[in-house]
Amino acid sequence: MAPPTRAGDYPFAPVDRVNAELFTLTYGAIVRQLLTDFEEVEEVNKQLDTMGYNIGVRLIDDFLAKSNITRCSEFKDTAEVIAKVGFKMFLGVSATVSNWSADGSECSLILDDNPLADFVELPDTCQGLFYCNILCGVIRGALEMVSMRTEVKFVKDMLRGDDAFEIRLKLLEQVAEEYPYKDDE
Amino acid sequence: MASTACFVIVSRNDCPIYESEVGTAPKKDEAAHLHQFILHASLDIVQDVVWTTNAMYLKLVDKFNDLLVSVYVTADTHTRLMLLHDSRNEDGIKNFFQEVHELYIKMLLNPLYVPGSRITSPFFDTRVRTLARKYL
């Protein structure tokens, strides 16, 4: 295998891979089942987000262990790392960061290609569905574990006819780390 | 392009899941009913012919006056792609069926589509019509 050249490739190289179609269809089966179980599209969106959250809080440990990245000094770095390393590692594609708000607390992650949504076409009955909402949950959960409370949501979805997938990432607050001990003890 | 062409996909449960008039002839209500009737009648012949060959493309299976019925059967689920036409253009029809079959497979891979249910996707419809213009 060629030596990794970019930041995102390094952790990606030794990771076990799974067949793309198997992955896509498995995720599809989950969404399909949720739609049958909950019936309401809104409820499915919420459920996907919760599932993602539960994945995110676990995934962050794996990510930190394998990616060898150093501490991010500000939120801009964090967004870059998610887009270039995180997505590349776990989804196999990388995103671009853009549309920063003036105060630097809000930005967009743009995915041109999304393996989760291959083959998918939304029927009329699920127009309000954010098919890939699980990604939002994953990011939210992962960031919460590194003491950033965020709000993550889809604003553009190719399945609804937009030109790309756009995830809006908003930093609500940075929770200060609390140590269970004092320095002078 | 053929002046009359009616394309129907019949699921394994004998339900029509997709229908379209792809010919250039102006639409007439009775004609549509007649086409349905002829295709429906030829389903029995398809059932016999399908066991006599290994090919998925069954060529001409039936005719009614100047209207001909060509059929393509998918290997796995016995979904039947049926075309009623009035022009003899075997190669074009074969290509048409093969490409529609591919489209249909893509359709099946969509997790939100329930196999055997009606195909309502506008994308599918547009593509089938484009293929019909190209090959028939």
How many angstroms away from the CA of A72 is the closest CA of chain B?
38
Would you state the pLDDT for residue A13?
60
pLDDT band at residue A111 under the 50/70/90 scheme: very high
Question: Is there a domain that residue A24 lies in?
Answer: no
Count of CB atoms situated within 10 Å of the CB of A13: 11
CATH of the domain at A128: 3.30.1380.20
Whether the per-residue pLDDT at B76 is higher than 80: the answer is no
pLDDT band at residue A174 under the 50/70/90 scheme: confident
Whether the per-residue pLDDT at A1 is higher than 70: the answer is no
Q: Report the SS3 class of residue A111.
A: strand
Whether B111 and A32 lie within 8 Å, measured CB to CB: yes
Q: Which domain holds residue A151?
A: 40-174
Please state the domain count of chain A: 1
> Which residues does A contribute to its contact with B (CB < 8 Å)?
21, 25, 27-29, 31-32, 35, 118-124, 126
Whether A123 and B121 lie within 8 Å, measured CB to CB: yes
- The b/e string for A155-185 (b: 16+ C-beta within 10 A; e otherwise) is ebbbbeeeeebbbbbebeeeeeeeeeeeeee
Residues on chain A touching B111 (C-beta within 8 angstroms): 25, 27-29, 31-32, 119-120
Residue B85 β-bridge partners: B5, B68
Whether the per-residue pLDDT at A3 is higher than 50: the answer is no
Whether the per-residue pLDDT at A16 is higher than 80: the answer is no
Alpha-carbon gap, residue A184 to A169, rounded angstroms: 38
Domains of chain B (ranges; CATH) run 5-135 (3.30.450.70)
Crossing angle (nearest 10°) for helices A41-67 and A20-38: 140
CA A163 to the chain's CA centroid: 19
Given a contact cutoff of 8 angstroms between Cβ atoms, the answer to whether A107 and A97 are in contact is yes
Alpha-carbon gap, residue A155 to B3, rounded angstroms: 46
Residues on chain A touching B110 (C-beta within 8 angstroms): 28, 119-121
Tokens of A144: 């919460």
Question: Is there a domain that residue A119 lies in?
Answer: yes
In this complex, which of A21, A118, A120 lies closest to B112 when CB atoms are compared? A120
Question: Is there a domain that residue A12 lies in?
Answer: no
pLDDT tens track for B77-133: 789 999 998 888 888 999 999 999 999 999 988 988 888 889 988 889 999 999 998
Instruction: Taking residues A124-138, report their average pLDDT.
Output: 91
Question: Is there a domain that residue A23 lies in?
Answer: no
Residues on chain A touching B121 (C-beta within 8 angstroms): 121, 123
Whether B111 and A31 lie within 8 Å, measured CB to CB: yes
Residues on chain A touching B112 (C-beta within 8 angstroms): 28, 31-32, 35, 120-123, 126
Alpha-carbon gap, residue B5 to B64, rounded angstroms: 13
Cβ-based neighbours of B111, under 8 Å, separated by 6 or more: A25, A27, A28, A29, A31, A32, A119, A120
